[in-house]
């Protein structure tokens, strides 16, 4: 299994919706003069976070925490009114009138980029932080957050998961590359294929790869590998593997690349060879042990797979591991192997154990469904109620 840096917490509409996409239907962005009603009036200037210059005639999204705006549609199931518009010739938003006073820090103003029908923005932990937004199944966008840590509101065509990552300072070459990505995404159909996305990203990346910052290269090369595996094209996969290996050859990188190949059923023996190199560096690595077991299973060596997957499980417990998601993945892998060996009762116990770790795990649910194993008898963990406030 891979050890992967997690994306930053997603904050949509200024509300914490961890790992939940905020999408909108296609809409207009009129040049509004004034909206709402009330004795408190607010107006803002939309600025480019890179140049700090006003952005005239630019689409924006504007709202404030827990603040309805008369005549403006609320975000579903909230009392938050959201204004979508286009700035005037001086970069000013509409004048927003509301009944109550709102602190400046509670207003969120996002530049809208992209020509898609669905969108999302993020909150970064630092003011003016550089970031990248990875559009699952598509390309990459990057930019600089504003003084309050808010990213652009990126709109895309089709249903895609968006994840954000904070990066070290981006160069002009990085920003230019990401702008090219945005232009390409705007031209994509809603049902863009992995091959279309891979070809577009590779064609943009190849000429400038040696000019891009290390953090952005890591995101792009990882994305190229994921897209190439989805295409099932061995030539594309081989190219993407070579690009990722340029990151280095430490155990984590080797295991992550190897596992991606193994789990994607592409060049599995190549993936196993990379995992073996990782194990040469760290023989007791829980993640790489699991990857090796999963590779052996994919290669039809089920009994050998069981040995390595059990070894991974034992290592996790001996080292007091605290990566619950990784443990659940190991349990799912063990269940698959035990089931194939005819040990359905043991496979059931393993899936129940995974379910008890996290009842919301889609991996456990999907594995149980595929193996026709019921989770109804698994114990649901009871979360203790906090003591009453005094």
pLDDT tens-digit series, residues 22-77: 444 558 899 999 999 999 999 999 999 999 999 999 999 999 999 999 999 998 88
Measured in residues, the chain has a length of 390
In this structure, how many other beta carbons lie within 10 angstroms of the beta carbon of residue 335?
Answer: 28
pLDDT digits (tens, 9 = 90+) for 151-161: 999 999 888 99
pLDDT at position 13: 37
Q: What is the mean pLDDT of residues 360-370?
A: 96
**Which pLDDT band holds residue 252 (cuts at 50, 70, 90)?**
very high
Is 15's pLDDT higher than 50? no
Give burial (CB, 10 Å; 0-12/13-18/19+) of 307: middle
**Which pLDDT band holds residue 2 (cuts at 50, 70, 90)?**
low
pTM attached to this predicted model: 0.86
Is 4's pLDDT higher than 60? no
pLDDT at position 319: 84
CB within 8 Å of 25: residues ≥ 6 apart: 117, 118
pLDDT at position 316: 94
Distance CA 112, CA 308 (A): 49
Is 298's pLDDT higher than 70? yes
Distance CA 79, CA 99 (A): 13
């Amino acid at each position: 299994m891979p050890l992967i840096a997690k994306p930053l917490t997603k904050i949509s509409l200024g509300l914490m919706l961890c790992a939940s996409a905020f999408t909108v239907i296609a809409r207009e962005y009129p040049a509004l003069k004034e909206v709402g009603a009330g004795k408190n009036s607010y107006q803002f200037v939309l600025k480019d976070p890179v140049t700090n210059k006003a952005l005239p005639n630019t689409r924006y999204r504007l709202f404030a925490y827990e603040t309805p705006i008369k005549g403006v549609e609320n975000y579903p199931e909230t009392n938050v009114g959201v204004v979508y518009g286009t700035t005037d010739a001086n970069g000013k938003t509409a004048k927003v009138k509301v009944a109550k006073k709102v602190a400046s820090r509670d207003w969120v103003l996002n530049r809208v980029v992209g020509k898609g029908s669905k969108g999302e923005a993020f909150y970064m932990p630092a003011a003016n932080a550089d970031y990248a937004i990875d559009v699952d199944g598509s390309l990459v966008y990057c930019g600089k957050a504003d003084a309050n840590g808010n990213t652009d509101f990126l709109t895309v065509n089709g249903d895609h998961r968006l994840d954000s990552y904070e990066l070290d300072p981006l160069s002009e070459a990085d920003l230019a590359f990401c702008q090219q990505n945005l232009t390409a995404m705007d031209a994509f159909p809603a049902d863009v294929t992995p091959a279309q996305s891979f070809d577009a990203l590779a064609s943009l990346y190849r000429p400038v790869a040696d000019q891009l910052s290390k953090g952005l290269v890591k995101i792009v090369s990882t994305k190229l590998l994921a897209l190439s595996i989805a295409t099932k094209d061995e030539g594309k996969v081989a190219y993407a593997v070579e690009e990722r290996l340029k990151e280095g050859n430490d155990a984590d990188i080797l295991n992550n690349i190897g596992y991606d190949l193994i789990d994607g059923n592409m060049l599995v023996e190549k993936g196993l060879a990379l995992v073996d190199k990782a194990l040469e560096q760290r023989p007791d690595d829980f993640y790489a042990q699991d990857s090796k077991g999963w590779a052996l299973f994919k290669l039809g060596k089920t009994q050998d797979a069981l040995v390595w997957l059990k070894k991974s499980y034992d290592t996790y417990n001996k080292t007091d591991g605290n990566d619950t998601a990784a443990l659940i993945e190991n349990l799912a892998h063990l269940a698959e192997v035990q089931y194939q060996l005819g040990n359905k009762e043991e496979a059931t116990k393993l899936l129940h154990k995974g379910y008890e770790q996290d009842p919301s795990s889609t991996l456990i649910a999907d594995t149980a469904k595929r193996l026709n194993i019921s989770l109804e008898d698994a114990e649901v963990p009871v979360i203790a109620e906090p003591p009453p406030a005094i």
